[in-house]
Chain A
Amino acid sequence: MNFELSEEQKMIQQSVERFVQDNYDLNTRISLSANDFGYSSDFWKSMAELGWLGLPFDESDGGFGGNQIDVLVIMEQFGKGLVLEPFLASVVMGGGALKKGASESLKNEILPGLIEGTKQLSFAYAEQQSRFDLEDVITSARKEGDGFILNGQKSMVQNAETADHIIVAARTSGGQIDEDGITLFLIDTNSEGLSMDNFPTVDGLRASEIILENVSVSEDRVIGNIDEGFEILQSVANDAILALSAEAVGAMEVLYKDTVEYTQQREQFDHPMSEFQVLQHRMVDMFMEYEQCKSMLYRATMESVQDPKAAQRTIHGLKHLIGKSGLFVGENAVQLHGGMGVTEELRVGHFFKRLLVIDSMFGNADHHLQKFTTY
């Protein structure tokens, strides 16, 4: 048992850290977020060149054979700058689904472009009525000829706007909330019958509502087995939770450290605010929540690498803690920054908003607490 990163992982950590330090100050992020893509395509290219986009894929698929720990290393550093590029949506979620379930020919077709940074993916799992339940799928896929016809609506789909392909969870059999009967399809974003309503999210990223009207897709675009997509869906969701949690831990570190620094500089009542015990204890609480989240992140990630199924309960625990503690740290960072904390001018507010969004993704704190109790 050890908590040390490998030499390679340490190098990646340093290079991502440097990238974020050099490129992701608040103003750059704000202007990137406002451009056409909502991120920098130059940065995306650099990430491909540095090999980051291929990290979690098998060597036989052109990747570097990494696992969830490598993703943790990247995402934690990304969290310190709130990186906008679609690593999570395209690589962890989209690429992860292909890695787990796609046929060799489908992987050969998509993964090289994904790793080179020329192709992007998106992962559409949620629907209006489903809230946080992955198995609640109404969007239908009806067998017709050698393919399927898809109809329905997918909600809060990340990175759909710039993706080449979207992975869609659709129902091929069973009732609305049955785990059995869900199938994953790889659909081209320019398919006939697919329309998108794009919009910004509160954290400066983008999402889309997607409508599928008689979208036809051939059977060789099915990822995994027909009717058995839920297991892949859940597994992708788990990896996404680990990645998001790593990002949240990075963001929480920035928030507690910024708060410590700010209270040391700002004087009120003729003293630096950091001298007031009531504020000191609040910052200790923030620091403790950050450390506890980091511990739980390590635990869930290491357990997932060892045995993903056995790690399920810990992952529920992790997402609960990240949601709860993330908002605690975010709210208190804003509080201790006072009036400045509620402006767009300081970065604390932006980090707080990202933590708010992270809690809403793949199930919030209450959802995962409830799931945790079912074991």
Chain B
Amino acid sequence: MDIELSSEDLAFTKEVRAFFEENEMAKGEDYFVWRNNWFAKAKEKGGWDVPKWPAKFGGPGWTPTQHYIWEQETAKANIPFDIPFGLGMLAPILMGYGNEEQQERFLPAIRERTVNWCQGYSESGAGSDLANLKTKAVLSEDGTYYTVNGSKMWTTLAHVADWIFCLTRTDDSGIKQKGITFLLFPMKQEGIEVKPIITLGGSHTVNTVHFTDVKVPVENRIGEEGKGWTYAKGLLEHERTGLAGLSKSLFELEKLKDQARTVTRGNGNLMDDSGYKAKIAELEIDLMATEYTELRSLASAAAGGKLGPESSILKLKGTEIKQRIQKLTVEASGIYSPAWGDKNIGLPFAKGGTAGYLNSRYFTIYGGASEVQKDVVAKKVLGLTKGSSK
């Protein structure tokens, strides 16, 4: 057992830092020009544009420690923002269950970031109980296309998406996990209507999406008809560790401390307040422990190819930590936390802090609510039987 980074890992850290420095956005540079160049250069480094992809599909094939270093460094650096749906969520499903033709058709554009994807999973009656979904897909008599009817809800960034990967029901005769089919189709077509849902922080991120007689060629089906649940579930497990966002939280926590130091309190600042300081400390200790829970989970994955039981708690702890940082930001804003609207009133971080806090409430709801996560840990890790009462 030792903590020391090998000389190879130290060299890798240096290389990553140097890359970030060389490719900083210049003053006045257009964001999209910079972003495209950045990813092109990262690709030349040997798959740094798709760090989590396996080497077989052009990823860098890093060790767990290298992934950890990358995450640490990216949290501190200014790098282009990525939307996870295509790269992190659909791509692994295409790699695992898509056929070669589908991989060749979709993966390059995902990698080049030229096509935006959204995830059509949740519905008004299928949230935590995702398998309850009702959006119907009916195969044509000649077997060449599906006709999709129904609605999706909470669809993140559907209003800017080019394509959707969508869970649909093709059979409702058996148990609800069976009869779900995984389809891909373009968003900009007749029969698709996207309506915004405005969340508590005042922003438009999620939507309702209605489908009326949308035609989807059968070549756009992943795997077999009726097996979509298995494919999606594999992804949810994959998603479990990705949502912890610990390196980002470390960065955000340091930012929060800096912000709290700008808040005057008597002759000092908020970081002199013993009550506030204690809350920050408790949060930081939890974060330090969770970081090592993540490292332990990476290490056991590397050793046995399987995530250990400790990985099951990462989403629960990671999302809770993100929320606590947001909450302490609101506390730091004090009397200015209610200031809303377009003007900058009082503390510069106050409005963003309040909006961030309100929006952060969904961290423990999406991707499997915390209570559902606990059900999973109870069953899968502790071996506790499921209640027979409904």
Contact = CB atoms under 8 A, between A and B. Distances in A.
B375 A321 contact: no
A314 B295 CA distance: 16
Nearest to B286: A292
A260 B378 CA distance: 10
B9 A264 contact: no
Interface string B69-86: 000000000000000000
B246 to A, nearest CB: 12
B384 A283 contact: yes
A306 B1 CA distance: 11
A168 B300 CA distance: 44
A295 B244 CA distance: 15
Interface string B284-310: 111011111101100110010000011
A271 B281 CA distance: 42
B296 A369 contact: no
Contacts of B303: 4
B373 to A, nearest CB: 9
Given A264-B384, A264-B385, A280-B378, A3 B299 contact: yes
Interface stretch (A74-82, A144-152, A235-243, A296-304): A296-304
Given A280-B375, A372-B285, A260 B383 contact: yes
B385 A306 contact: no
Nearest to B278: A369
A287 B3 contact: no
A283 B293 CA distance: 18
Contacts of A340: none
B378 A305 contact: no
Contact of A295 (B1, B280, B282, B296): B296
A273 to B, nearest CB: 10
A83 interface: no
A275 B313 CA distance: 21
A317 interface: yes
9 contacts: A1-B3, A4-B299, A264-B384, A285-B374, A288-B313, A288-B377, A298-B1, A317-B284, A369-B282
Interface of A: 1-6, 9, 69, 260, 263-264, 271-272, 274-277, 280-281, 283-285, 287-288, 291-296, 298-299, 301-303, 305-306, 314, 317, 320-321, 369-370, 372-373
Interface of B: 1-6, 9, 65, 68, 274, 277-278, 280-282, 284-286, 288-293, 295-296, 299-300, 303, 309-310, 313, 316-317, 371, 374-375, 377-378, 381-389
Given A288-B317, A291-B310, 19 more contacts: A1-B9, A4-B303, A5-B1, A9-B1, A271-B387, A275-B389, A280-B374, A280-B382, A281-B371, A284-B382, A295-B291, A295-B292, A299-B3, A299-B288, A302-B2, A317-B284, A321-B289, A370-B278, A373-B280
